[in-house]
Copies of this chain bind each other. A is one copy, B any other.
């Protein structure tokens, strides 16, 4: 399968919402944000992609969202025709793609659940636990996790404002649940407490 390498600087776009979809992308290193620009000008981030993740597996002839580098990012790009030509000949491969999209679907459902919590603290706690769990596949436990995205990215992902995100970071710090190092380093000190917040009932009987 033919592919080409591509390097992106922060803020550079892989593609824009509405572009003709001619390629599928595989992230080799770095970090991407996928986002939709709403007609009202707001931005909804629908996911982040990191090394090993495929981008644009969905059907449709145009991209439904934009993909932009958060930090310096390398990716491999494959013409979509070649990609699906291989897939059509190799049911095994197609099945793997199928499962990847299924995983994306589950992730989207999780995002719905996280957003709809309607309590900023709950959403944030769930987000931090999720980010750490995803990173834990690579690193050792109880270590600092990299948070490459900006506060505004977290906000646009969870449906909050960057101020609220900032306030909750501060609040979690004060309560000793997390430790923050610089802008992009975070370490969870009290996962249990975060899990309780993430799971707590809005109408609490305490």
Docked pose: A87 CA to B92 CA in angstroms? 11
CA gap between A67 and B98 in the complex, in Å = 22
Chain A contact-residue range equals: 35 or more
Interface-side segment among A4-12, A41-49, A74-82: A41-49
The closest CB in chain B to the CB of A89 belongs to B91
**Interface-side segment among A110-118, A133-141, A143-151, A180-188:** A110-118
Kindly state whether residue A129 has any CB partner on chain B within 8 Å: no
In chain A, positions 44-89 with a C-beta closer than 8 Å to chain B are 44, 46, 57-60, 64-65, 87-89
Question: Hey, which chain B residues are within 8 Å of A36, CB to CB?
Answer: 109, 113
Q: Is A131's beta carbon under 8 Å from chain B?
A: no
